[in-house]
């Protein structure tokens, strides 16, 4: 059988450049299992169509806001500097189609730590309805797709060195999943100091209060850039995200309010 060759698809050129950039990070991954009973209950009882993604974005944004170093980026090689970003912006990924080619696209919820669950969901819904081929919000992706590869690579690298641009395009952190498919654990490549990979949410055997039961649960994998954060701080951040998801109440503005530990 003869081999065939074809040019790299232009529709995925933005992904290629992102992955080239991700090699600059020094990623370490840690994970934890999270009981999702309270989140599942709220989704069922709220009367609104909240995606699980909205809960993960809100919980992580509020935790990242507590740690300025987690909301920072490293610039410079000979003289490295840490730049703390002005807002806590949450990047998430979308499965899109361009010219019959399936691609991954990213979108950013700006100031996510200050938003209600309803507001976060509204932003997610907006991005889901937008087409890469025409929406203004995806204009940067189209620019990279149309540019010659060498020029696109240069433009992307220059943009990622500018904190205000990087925060707007790549976010303070990323939440990514594989869309509810049967994947238990997902370890993503980093595009920011913190990247959260979300596994499928399924019913599992769960020990709670020394009793064996069945509960909805998922596995969260936190990938952190070890140049910026150490393991102890990153483990603390992941633990707080877990706690917010497992033990929370919603106030009248639908912001997460921490309950005291049982």
Instruction: Kindly state whether residue 254 falls inside one of the protein's structural domains.
Output: no
Q: Is the pLDDT of residue 7 over 50?
A: yes
Instruction: Kindly state whether residue 2 falls inside one of the protein's structural domains.
Output: no
Instruction: Kindly state whether residue 91 falls inside one of the protein's structural domains.
Output: yes
pTM: 0.88
The residue range of the domain holding 92 is: 10-248
Q: What's the CA gap between 143 and 158, in Å, rounded?
A: 14
Question: Residues of the chain with pLDDT > 90: what percent?
Answer: 46
193 φ/ψ angles, rounded to the nearest 5 degrees: -60, -35
Tokens of 200: 């499928």
Residue of 73, 98, 69, 23 lying closest to 236 (CA atoms): 69
Please tell me which residue, 251 or 81, carries the higher pLDDT value. 81
Span 199-216, average pLDDT: 90
Instruction: Tell me how many degrees the CA angle 227-74-173 measures, rounded to the nearest 5.
Output: 85
Instruction: Tell me how many degrees the CA angle 132-94-121 measures, rounded to the nearest 5.
Output: 105
Span 94-117, average pLDDT: 89
pLDDT tens digits, residue range 28-37?
999 999 999 9
pLDDT-derived band at 60, boundaries 50, 70, 90? very high
Q: What's the CA gap between 152 and 150, in Å, rounded?
A: 5
140 φ/ψ angles, rounded to the nearest 5 degrees: -60, -35
| SS3 of residue 131 by DSSP | coil
pLDDT-derived band at 259, boundaries 50, 70, 90? very low
pLDDT-derived band at 198, boundaries 50, 70, 90? very high
Please tell me which residue, 236 or 86, carries the higher pLDDT value. 236
| SS3 of residue 259 by DSSP | coil
149 φ/ψ angles, rounded to the nearest 5 degrees: -55, -45
pLDDT-derived band at 134, boundaries 50, 70, 90? confident
Tokens of 163: 């904190």
The whole-number pLDDT of residue 258 equals 45
The whole-number pLDDT of residue 249 equals 58
pLDDT tens digits, residue range 167-178?
888 889 999 988
Instruction: Kindly state whether residue 164 falls inside one of the protein's structural domains.
Output: yes
Span 126-133, average pLDDT: 91
DSSP calls for 94-128: EEEEETTEEEEEEEEETTGGGS-HHHHHHHHHHHH
The whole-number pLDDT of residue 124 equals 96
Structural domain count, the chain: 1
Tell me, what CATH number does 231's domain have?
3.30.559.10
The whole-number pLDDT of residue 1 equals 67
Span 182-211, average pLDDT: 89
The whole-number pLDDT of residue 179 equals 72
């Amino acid at each position: 059988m003869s081999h065939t060759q074809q040019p790299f698809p232009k529709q995925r050129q933005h992904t290629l450049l992102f992955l080239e950039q991700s090699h600059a990070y020094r990623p370490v991954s840690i994970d934890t299992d999270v009981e999702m009973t309270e989140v599942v209950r709220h989704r069922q009882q709220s009367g609104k169509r909240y995606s699980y993604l909205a809960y993960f974005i809100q919980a992580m944004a509020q935790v990242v806001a507590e740690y300025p170093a987690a909301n920072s980026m490293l610039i410079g090689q000979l003289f490295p500097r840490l730049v703390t970003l002005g807002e806590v912006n949450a990047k998430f990924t979308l499965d899109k189609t361009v010219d019959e080619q399936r691609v991954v696209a990213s979108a950013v919820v700006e100031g996510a730590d200050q938003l209600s669950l309803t507001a976060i969901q509204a932003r997610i819904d907006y991005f889901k309805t937008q087409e890469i081929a025409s929406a203004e919000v995806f204009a940067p992706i189209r620019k990279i797709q149309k540019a010659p590869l060498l020029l696109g690579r240069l433009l992307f690298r220059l943009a990622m060195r500018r904190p205000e641009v990087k925060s707007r395009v790549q976010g303070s952190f990323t939440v990514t999943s594989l869309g509810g498919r049967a994947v238990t654990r997902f370890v993503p490549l980093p595009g920011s100091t913190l990247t959260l990979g979300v596994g499928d949410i399924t019913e599992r055997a769960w020990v709670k209060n020394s009793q064996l039961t069945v509960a909805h649960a998922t596995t969260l994998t936190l990938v952190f850039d070890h140049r910026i954060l150490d393991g102890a701080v990153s483990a603390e951040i992941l633990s707080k995200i877990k706690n917010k998801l497992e033990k929370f109440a919603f106030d009248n503005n639908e912001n997460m309010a921490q309950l005291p530990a049982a």
